[in-house]
Structure 1
Amino acid sequence: MIDHLRHMAVFARVVDEGSFRAAARAIGLAPSRVSETVSELEAFLGVTLLYRTTRKIALTNEGRMFYARVTEMLRSAESGLNELNALSLEPVGALRVSVPAFMSSSSLATAIAEFSRLHPQVALSVVFTDQRMDLMNDGFDVNIRAGWLADSSMMSRKLGETARALVVGAEYAATRPAPRHPSDLEDWDWLRYRHRAEYTRLTGPGGEEVKVLGQARLEVDSIDALYHFTCQNLGATVLPEHLAARGEAAGRLIRLFPDWQLAPLGIYAVWPDTSRRENLTLLFVRFLESVRSSVNE
């Protein structure tokens, strides 16, 4: 029976996610292995739990009854882990976290590594992506988000801010007259990040505000790609401070109007108000918050 507890958890995740493929993505297994696991459970029980078609799955009557019992078991197990983690000096469990891909080499990633070293019994699965991940549908316990949060029913905590810099490839800049005002950049080539506004807003030393639109030569959905293409001298763009500093130190990027300010990006941890791993989630978020100065790039 003990050997099939994991099978039961996989079965419940398939039902929750609505497909073998989605469940496989959520728990980090191959879809074929997830399907095999459910088949092995059905063979052990001697009943069919799921109707399978090429487009969807559906619970059989036996599957519906069994699913109710399995979810009750899983909730009890999660509650038990939460209670133990509240009392234990050494937290135990698993957390699935999403982080913006551009922060994979930032000090936030270093803080996550430190958390892992301090708590070796906590299994962390960290997904680095610039796509906005859905906490519930994508099976995450915590999302780290960059930007400014809209009103949400989710729990959230600000971890810090990351500065941004207006930069251009050094060789590209050499082909252009030196700009005297940000508006001079309107006829430059620009590289745009798909998930941000099309214009760039800057505030001058005297409080003057300017919006620069420019001509988008290339649009990407990855900050790392944005950095790479800017270093390839395709135009100007806005980058997180740690990437701008890296390119500047290598002599590949030049800062434009360093005395003008761009609004920083807020860095937030977001999690469900009914977290499955409440105490472990809070431990993780509070740790990141305690070292949030490391997030202020």
Structure 2
Amino acid sequence: MINHLRHMAVFTKVVDLGSFRLTAKELGLAPSRVSQTISDLESFLGVTLLHRTTRKLSLTKEGNTFYKHVCQISKSAEAGLNDISSLAAEPKGTLKISLPAFLASSHMSSAIAEFAKKFPKITLNLIYSDHIMNIMDEGLDLSIRVGWLEDSSMVARKISESSRLLVAGKEFINRYKTPVHPHDLKNWDWIHFSMRSNTIEFTSATNETVSIIENSRINVNSAWAMSYFATKNLGLAILPEHLALEHIATGKLVHVLPNWTLKPLGYYAVWPNNSRRENLTLMLVRFLAERGLSSDTF
């Protein structure tokens, strides 16, 4: 078995990444070498572990059973390495992290850049996407989620929260009478973010709560796209504060109903329980939480 521990490690990495090419890139090997390693392991075991097609890899029944066992070996080994690494003067390792695309130029990314400078031997693979990525399927060590966290089997920590602002372009605003109450927006056009409800709840300075439904004809799955179409005077948009303030400062957008507030967004760090890189993950999570990434910094 000792002679095939390396083969097992390569196998688990192929399953985690779902690709010979990606595995080869991460391990610094030729794709043909990775493929041959899996073939050698299959020959040794006398079973087929992976179904190979031109589009994807998938586990056979035997492969799934084998993976459950060797995955634990791999996790334990990496956990041991991480424990030792965390005690070293310079922690090292690799973290694969997903974040919403609109955080690409934010204080969150600035904090991650600060982390990268402080720990130069930690490699960060950052994936910016407005789609919620499956942590296990994508082999993520950490996912930054924005919104209101649903129940999950993952470990989660709230890092901060950020206000949201209702905005629109000046030309669009000038088409209507200046609103003073959310009900005044009933017939206005909206730019809807497809990943949230179209029911909007406002709260006044006197704690009056009012809910209205967006009347949207443009639906997008990106906060950046929402802000762009708002600057093109196509409707009202609810944006994370840091995005809204950028455009308000340049005069491209106007804060609508400034005396009413919207439910703030929570910023959460989410990671798998018993992560193979738990020490490095916790190091980054604590680092982000300690940066004071509050609503006035996003």
Q: Is the 8 A contact 2:7 2:37 kept in 1?
A: yes
Map Cα deviations across residues 39-92 of structure 1 (whole Å, 9 max, x no partner). 23257779486454537545597x799868964663353033222123112111
Aligned residue identity for 2:32 = E
Q: Which residue of structure 2 aligns with residue 205 of structure 1?
A: 205
Are 2:247 and 1:247 aligned?
A: yes
Instruction: State the Cα distance separating 1:150 from its structure 2 match.
Output: 2.5
Instruction: State the Cα distance separating 1:140 from its structure 2 match.
Output: 0.4
Aligned residue identity for 1:41 = T
Residues 1:45 and 1:142: Cα distance change in structure 2 (over 3 Å): closer
Residues 1:283 and 1:248: Cα distance change in structure 2 (over 3 Å): same
Where in structure 2 are the equivalents of 1:81-100 lying within 5 Å?
81-100=81-100
Report SS of the residue matched to 2:186.
helix
Distance, in Å, in 2 between the alignment partners of 1:183 and 1:292 is: 36
Q: Which residue of structure 2 aligns with residue 175 of structure 1?
A: 175
Instruction: State the Cα distance separating 1:104 from its structure 2 match.
Output: 1.1
Where in structure 2 are the equivalents of 1:118-157 lying within 5 Å?
118-157=118-157
The number of aligned residues is: 287
Map Cα deviations across residues 216-253 of structure 1 (whole Å, 9 max, x no partner). 02000111111111111100010011111111111110
TM-score of the superposition, structure 2-length normalised? 0.84
Residues 1:147 and 1:176: Cα distance change in structure 2 (over 3 Å): same
Which blocks of at least 5 consecutive residues in structure 2 are unaligned? none
Q: Is the 8 A contact 2:162 2:294 kept in 1?
A: no
Aligned residue identity for 1:278 = E
Distance, in Å, in 2 between the alignment partners of 1:34 and 1:59 is: 24
Aligned residue identity for 2:193 = Y
Distance, in Å, in 1 between the alignment partners of 2:254 and 2:159 is: 29
Map Cα deviations across residues 110-136 of structure 1 (whole Å, 9 max, x no partner). 000000000000000111111111111
Instruction: State the Cα distance separating 1:215 from its structure 2 match.
Output: 1.3
Distance, in Å, in 1 between the alignment partners of 2:36 and 2:11 is: 10
Q: Which residue of structure 1 aligns with residue 35 of structure 2?
A: 39
Aligned residue identity for 1:139 = G
Aligned residue identity for 1:39 = S
TM-score of the superposition, structure 1-length normalised? 0.85
Residues 1:152 and 1:65: Cα distance change in structure 2 (over 3 Å): closer
RMSD: 3.0
Which blocks of at least 5 consecutive residues in structure 1 are unaligned? none
